[in-house]
Structure 1
Amino acid sequence: MVGLKPSDVPPPLGVKMASAAAAACVADIVTFPLDTAKVRLQIQGEKQAVGGIRYRGVFGTISTMVRTEGPKSLYNGLVAGLQRQVCFASIRIGLYDSVKNFYSGGKDSKRLNVLVRILAGCTTGAMAVSVAQPTDVVKVRFQAQMNLNGSARRYSGTMQAYRHIFLNEGMRGLWKGMLPNITRNALVNCTELVTYDLIKEAILRHKLMSDNLPCHFVSAFGAGFVTTVVASPVDVVKTRYMNSPLGQYKSAMNCAWTMMTKEGPTAFYKGFMPSFLRLGSWNVVMFVSFEQIKRAMMITKKRIEATN
């Protein structure tokens, strides 16, 4: 047995939400440089956004950023990223089982129809984006801004960024790109959670592994790959649209059409490798952490109840 044993009693909603938020923050800290590299590659077609510097590949992008802007640039927007995960992951992951049970009418989760799982994933993903959208806008803009010597930074701090966007672009600015973001995160959430669910259940059903770290690792890695393939096109449009100056694109659909006509269909898979490296590693760290934190919290809860 590797890691903590699964609890005999299903964890309550509060434990699930807190575990999801904590695990997602851990995963974000570990994989944030890959996410930043992904954003820089995705906006590569916009000359004004990259300052004439060309990025080539995941590690080439990271190397260029460290050389031209310093190592700290890889963690631009981390504060907003952690704020996002506390709001976002706690809802989309923490509420998933509850919403799934609601749609199934309380039936055995191991025999649920795939469509029920997909519907639950899309629902919690859309709910989470509705709450966390401003944090996502600020995170993307921090990751996209360059910190070259002598150049003025677009934003000086996270709270200043929220204030600046609100004063200059209004409330709509903080929720800019919400439609592609809801689409992207509904896709990501249902693909990620449903794939993880199905792979994990298949492994356990066929007794290939026990319900522990190796099983969680394999399930999470598979979920990361499938999610990247499905979500990359919408993710690129979301990043471009969120980072664009006021008036550059009329809408998210206009952004997608401009990309198609000017850069071709391959533009929708710009940054695919960092997206996969990031989502694959993020899923592994997050799901493994989530399972272990959830079990640790249940053990702590039982001990507290035993002493009272």
Structure 2
Amino acid sequence: MSPINNQDKKQSALARVLGSASAGICEIGVFHPVDTISKRLMSNSTKVSNLSQFNSVIFKLHANDPLGKRLVSLFPGLGYAAVYKILQRVYKYGGQPFANEFLSNNFKSSFNDTFGEKTGKALMSATAGSLIGIGEVVLLPLDVLKIKRQTNPESFKGRGFLQIIKDEGFALYRGWGWTAARNAPGSFALFGGNAFAKEYILGLKDYSQATWSQNFISSIFGASASLIVSAPLDVIKTRIQNKNFENPESGVQILKKMLQNEGITSFFKGLTPKLLTTGPKLVFSFALAQSLIPFFDKLF
């Protein structure tokens, strides 16, 4: 039985970094091809009505190549993806507990008085996740390069990483506002859904004492809520980032075109495959991080 209190055990910073980084490494190793497929579906603005068109969207210039080459084509930008994903997971999964502790130390009574002890605790976790999600824009250049590699490799024109950084500069932060707008509710829903599941469904008093299966169950709730809430802004963000460096479009321009040419349902393009693909990826890494952080804390 967990101790009867409403305060989670604090893990060390080293444990949070190691646990989150390990989760990121495992995630990129298993799910990068799936992520490429999801990004290419979201970036596609044409109607897909047959298998041949679907094949062209997924494999692009390699659509008619042998199966082996088509599968290899799903691994573009792996270097960018690995660096980005590991840093992102360390920042997000390792950083949210620090933000949560800050809120708990300074605003716990306000949350509890307003929402009650159990709901207040879950909402603090969600709010901490939202704050961390907004700050995630600092990693945006790596995300931009990863997505361009996955969806628009022609935009690189033979340039390496350092040359692109030199040439593009702050242009790599294009779409940062839309990214922050997408991350805030998405991260709120991720950590909030996870916390509410642990609080109300699993009845945990100390979230850090959750078993692997409990972390897995609660991560399903958090990941599903996050993907649904952030879907419209995620589509806009992806389309901003996959444009050629020379021909950028603003989020407002993209939004207007989507409404005019594709309709309201275009804001949820790729949601079903994303729930089926990105959903398991997010559940996997989130549950793994939540299990590995306490593990490393005990180990060291």
Q: TM-score range by the shorter chain?
A: 0.7 to 0.9
Q: Which amino acid aligns with 1:188?
A: G
> Matches of residues 68-147 of structure 1 in structure 2 within 5 Å?
68=65, 70-105=70-105, 107=108, 111=118, 112-130=120-138, 132-145=139-152
Structure 1's 185 and 206: CA in aligned 2 closer, same or farther, altered over 3 A?
Answer: closer
In the TM superposition, residue 245 of structure 1 has moved relative to its aligned partner by 2.4
Judge which range, 115-124 or 60-69, deviates more: 60-69
The CA distance in 2 between the partners of 1:200 and 1:67, in whole Å, is 47
Separation in 2 of the partners of 1:56 and 1:267? 20
Output aligned runs, 1:5-20, within 5 Å: 10-20=10-20
Deviation of the 1:65 alpha carbon? 6.0
The residue that corresponds to 1:196 in the other structure is: 194
Indicate conservation of the 8 Å contact 1:55/1:64, yes or no.
Answer: no
For the residue of structure 2 that corresponds to 1:11, the secondary structure is coil
The answer to whether the Cα contact below 8 Å between 2:93 and 2:289 also exists between their aligned partners in 1 is no
- Stretch of structure 1 that moved more, 8-17 or 268-277: 8-17
The two structures, once aligned, show a CA RMSD in angstroms of 3.3
Spell out, residue by residue over 1:222-276, the C-alpha distance to the aligned partner (whole angstroms, 9 max, x if none). Answer: 2222112111111110110111124645421221122111211111111112211
Q: Which amino acid aligns with 1:83?
A: V
Equivalent residue number for residue 5 of structure 1 = none
In 2, are the aligned partners of 1:96 and 1:121 still within 8 Å (CA)? Answer: yes
Structure 2 portions without partners, runs of 5+: 1-7
1:184 match: secondary structure: helix
CA distance in 1, matches of 2:224, 2:63: 27
Distance in 2 (alpha carbons) for counterparts of 1:246 and 1:9 = 46
Query: How far apart are 1:142 and its partner, in Å?
Result: 0.6
Measure the CA separation in 1 of the matches of 2:10 and 2:188: 22
Q: Identity percentage over the alignment?
A: 23
Consecutive unaligned residues of structure 1, counting only runs of 5 or more, are 1-7, 48-52, 147-152, 302-308
Is the CA contact 1:237–1:252 (under 8 Å) kept in the aligned structure 2? yes
Match of 2:259 in 1: 260
Q: CA deviation at 1:96?
A: 1.0
Equivalent residue, structure 2, for 1:26: 26
CA gap of 1:257–1:118, structure 2 versus 1, over 3 A, is farther
Distance of aligned partners of 1:136 and 1:93 in 2 relative to their CA distance in 1, 3 Å threshold:
same
Q: C-alpha separation between the residues in 1 aligned to 2:294 and 2:122?
A: 26
Q: Is the 8 A contact 2:126 2:195 kept in 1?
A: no
SS of corresponding position for 1:95: helix
Q: CA deviation at 1:171?
A: 1.5
Paired position in structure 2 for 1:230: 229
Q: How far did residue 82 of structure 1 move? A: 1.6
Question: Aligned partner of 2:252: which letter?
Answer: M
How far apart in 1 are the matches of 2:35 and 2:19?
22
Give the match for residue 155 of structure 1: 156
Maintained 8 Å contact 1:103/1:116? yes
Task: State the one-letter code of the partner of 1:31.
Answer: F
Judge conservation of contact 2:152–2:242 (CA < 8 Å) in 1: no
Using the TM superposition, give the Cα deviation of residue 98 of structure 1 relative to its aligned residue in structure 2, in angstroms: 1.7
Deviation at 1:191, TM superposition (A): 1.1
Identify the residue that residue 4 of structure 2 maps to in structure 1: none
More helix by share: 2
CA–CA distance in structure 1, aligned partners of residues 194 and 63 of structure 2: 34
Give me the whole-angstrom Cα distance separating, in 2, the residues matched to 1:289 and 1:206. Answer: 18
Q: Is the 8 A contact 1:237 1:256 kept in 2?
A: yes
Q: Distance in 1 between matches of 2:15 and 2:43?
A: 38
Higher mean displacement: 242-251 or 101-110: 101-110
CA distance 1:54–1:173, change in 2 (3 Å): farther
Report the count of equivalent residues.
277
Tell me what 2:281 maps to. 282
The TM-score normalised by the length of structure 1 is 0.78
Q: Give the conservation status (yes or no) of the 8 Å contact 2:59–2:73.
A: no
Q: TM-score, normalised by structure 2?
A: 0.80
Letter in 2 for 1:241: I
Residue 39 of structure 1: CA displacement? 1.1
